[in-house]
Amino acid sequence: MEEVKKRWYVVRSISGKEKKVKEYLEMEISRMKLDQFVSQVLIPTEKVFQIRNGKKVSKERAYLPGYVLLEAALVGEVPHLVKSIPNVIGFLGAKKGGDPLPMRLSEVNRILGKVDELADNEEEMKIPFVIGESVKVIDGPFNNFSGVIDEINEEKKKLKVMVKIFGRKNLLELSYMQVEKEI
């Protein structure tokens, strides 16, 4: 059997249900033996860091919420199968209810490249703070205290923050994850 020409398509799903859509799609594709028409189902994700109970926790989050990428040849039952999956709204196309539009190769490479880049640079964070800026401590023994940034150490991702405690100014060394910008 000759190799079918596959292209990348964007499947719109209900936001937050991307993983379920991917699971259902993969399950139905293998059940109906359509593997030669669909090669991969992908959810572009990025790593985000949060502080939980004083610990830095990394979590994967959908980079394009509500969208699932699909490399497939839309022939025969494939488009119908994709649209019939629970939580799928439909394909991304030029007009509502129209034919699915394949993605340009440059777009695919950019998105896949961005996903790889996010996986490689997971620790890479831009410096979101400037000296003299007001911040609020959100973690640690000085939780809910406010202060002003006095110094920034990019390598260690630490800040020196001047905080007023019992009427006296004290210099605290805190990580980026322990403070947030004051509004």
Do 140 and 175 lie in one domain? The reply is yes
Reply yes or no on whether the pLDDT at 178 is more than 80: yes
The CA-atom distances, in angstroms, between 111 and each of 22, 99, 124 are 17, 22, 18
Reply yes or no on whether the pLDDT at 90 is more than 70: yes
Residue 30: what residue type? Answer: S
Reply yes or no on whether the pLDDT at 3 is more than 70: no
Mean model confidence pLDDT for the chain: 85
Query: Domain of 175: which CATH number?
Result: 2.30.30.30
Give the pLDDT mean for 135-159.
Answer: 90
Whether 1 is covered by a domain: the verdict is no
Whether residue 42 contacts residue 69, with contact meaning beta carbons closer than 8 Å, is answered with yes
Q: How many domains does the chain contain in total?
A: 2
Do 31 and 105 lie in one domain? The reply is yes
Quick one: tokens of 73?
């040849």
- Residues 100-130 have pLDDT tens digits of 889 888 888 888 877 666 665 544 555 678 8
Quick one: tokens of 19?
């993983």
Give the pLDDT mean for 134-141.
Answer: 90
Q: What is the CA radius of gyration of the chain?
A: 23
Q: pTM for the whole thing? A: 0.60
Q: What residues make up the domain containing 157?
A: 134-181
What does DSSP assign to residue 14?
Answer: -
Residue 91: half-sphere exposure toward Cβ, Cα within 13 Å: 22
